Structure 1
Amino acid sequence: MLSALTVVGCGGGGDGPPHSLADGELAASAAPSTQAPDAVQTRSRPAGAWLGMVGERVTFGFVLSDGSYHLLYSPPGDAQALAGFMHGRASLAAGGFRSPDGRDFAFSGAPRSVEIYAAIEPGQSLIGSVSASDIAPDHAATSPTVGDASAGDAAPPAIGASAGAEGDLLLRFVAYSEAPPTLPSVAGRYAAQSSLGASGTLTIDAHGALLSEGDPNVCRLSGQLTARADDHALDVTLAFEGPQCSHPGQSFTGAAFFHPASQSRLYFTVTNPVRDIGVVFVSDRT
């Protein structure tokens, strides 16, 4: 099962019990900042992490400085599992957040077209609505399957009873206590699970090169992370290598980011160039 907005430990990411940032009260009030005054992010722009609700779904993710967004969401009323993510790019002007051509990649079916219109107060709140509609059949991808024989028999992640996020949008800005991640700070080994149902080990080196364990003649994941100086997120490119991968030879791009309460859980949200396939990886540092 892919856990959703639950992190291991809190604060510095210790070895304590799982701690959830997905409580309903956090959707209605801003999480307190633990940053020193000289480390507080610039609040004149909407970039950063956001946490709250879309309809009945707990939602957490990132808006980057270029207006692109990566928003993970849970099944309705269940903060312990992931159900999909929304991705797109918004125009940001005059206090508005407008994205007429986003994509919703629910784990339970084909992607849908998403429109997000909201009022944004940088560093404070993002309030509006999300509406979704089906994509014409010739532009919709079939539900992905896993052909990686080295991935084991991991069950697919838990999904909600209904597909996709839709409804009222209420998000609050979440401040980070750490500086933006650098490639050396991200380097390490991670136990990862994907929305395709496969699990395995990822290794990231100090230069951002990513490689999964596995036989490239069967299936292996490779990629590159690039630090963003002005965001608490990283750009990422991934490729599936091997004939038994679910998407052999295809490349994906997106973002990677830590949960604000832990530097041990790293999320990846990536899409292919035509945005008819989206994949999530939840990776715990080992």
Structure 2
Amino acid sequence: MDAVQSKERQDFGEDPVACRETSHYQDEYIEGFVDKWDELIDWKNRAKSEGDFFIELLKERGATRILDAATGTGFHSVRLVEAGFEVVSCDGSPEMLVKAFQNGQQWGHILRTVQVDWRWLNRDVHGHYDAIICLGNSFTHLFSEHDRRKALAEFYATLKHDGILILDQRNYDAMLDVGYSSKHTYYYCGSNISVYPEHIDDGLARFRYNFPDDSTYYLNMYPLRKDYTRRLMKEVGFQHVDTYGDFQETYRDAEPDFFIHVAHKAYQETDDE
């Protein structure tokens, strides 16, 4: 942890486009970047844009105990605690967890934070949950299919028998097939901040984040295709997956900035699957 906290600059090696390792994300979320993350999100505008989508989704399914598996700086954890849910806040980045805890305190809450690696989630998180949320495009930090399957299997095992996994991702299909565009309406609502993929191919989406103070940071992520993610969820045991585009049930595939998958552990009779 000390090694991560002491880093002042991101380091992707001599060839940043060749940096495609799951564990590297810890070196990407350095203190300077994490300190600017809330500036990128803009909590007030983010809350306004997504409304009560996740809160209502969880309430409709009777969920009370929630695992926020990618809490980041704590935005959704705080919102869910405020809405009356019992929340455990996890992240693989110690820098993010420190910031999330501080943000929770500012809202008058003591967040229950745990540093975890999803691939060994049940080693560090005990008990079962009504729902797991994995938001903020976080799942795309996993670069190998083995890692993705292992993480999903850990999520599955951590859920109660009728639990749900809510996982989101950028619309990489559109980026790969059509080209990048973003409304920045729902997720990254900060002003005067540019976010765009500096490089994208079938195995890497390298995003560049430019801030008003002329600082620049990068994230290397795997460009998950929507149907591939849905298939993996079902192959690890989830019985049914609903997918929303920018919080809407109906959409044209190229239009949404983000897809939100709701994977059900319990069997459901459906007409379309």
Decide: shared fold, TM above 0.5.
Answer: no
TM-score by length of 2: 0.32
TM-score by length of 1: 0.31
Q: Where is the helix percentage greater, Structure 1 or Structure 2?
A: 2
